[in-house]
Structure 1
Amino acid sequence: MAENFPQSNCGEAAGPQLREALDRISQIVLDGLRHGHFRCAISSVIGKGNRRDLVVEAGKSHKFTIPAEEVPH
C-alpha cells in the first residue's frame, strides 16, 4: 500500500548547494532502506557571512556551505 506524501518544491526554489545537499540526503536514505538499516546525523550551524554549514554524517561526512540567500523562506 503506497502512501501519498506531499511533494516539496524546495529543490526548485533553492540554490545549487542546497539542492546538492537535499539530493545527497535523499540518496543516503534510499541506500539505507535498500540495505535494511542505517544511521544518519544532520547538523547545521551559521558560519561566516551568514552562511549555513550543513553536515550530513552517514558512514562518511558530507559538508555543504549554503549561502543565506539560497535558503527558501
Structure 2
Amino acid sequence: MRSFYHYALTYRGKKEPDDKGRLADWMFYDHEFPKQSADYHEISNYLEWNSPFTNALSVFDELWDAYKLNDLE
C-alpha cells in the first residue's frame, strides 16, 4: 500500500491547479509533512496545525476518500 502522500502527488503539476493540486504541491514542498503515513488521523492532525489554505482539510477529506477507494481496487 502506497502512502497517502504518494497518492496525492498524482494531482501535482497542472497548468491551472485546483485545490487538490494546491494541496499536493504544498505537501511536496513541506519537508515536515508525514510523507510515509497511511494513517488518516496522523495526517489530519498535521493539517489541522499546519493548514496551507482555508479549505485544506475538506480537500484532504476528498482526497482521502479517493485514496481509500483507489486502494480497494
* Bigger share in strand: 1
Which structure exhibits the higher relative contact order, with contacts defined as CA atoms closer than 8 Å and separated by 6 or more residues? 2
Shared fold per TM-score greater than 0.5: no
Query: Between Structure 1 and Structure 2, whose CA radius of gyration is higher?
Result: 1
**TM-score (normalised: structure 2):** 0.30
**TM-score (normalised: structure 1):** 0.30
* Bigger share in helix: 2
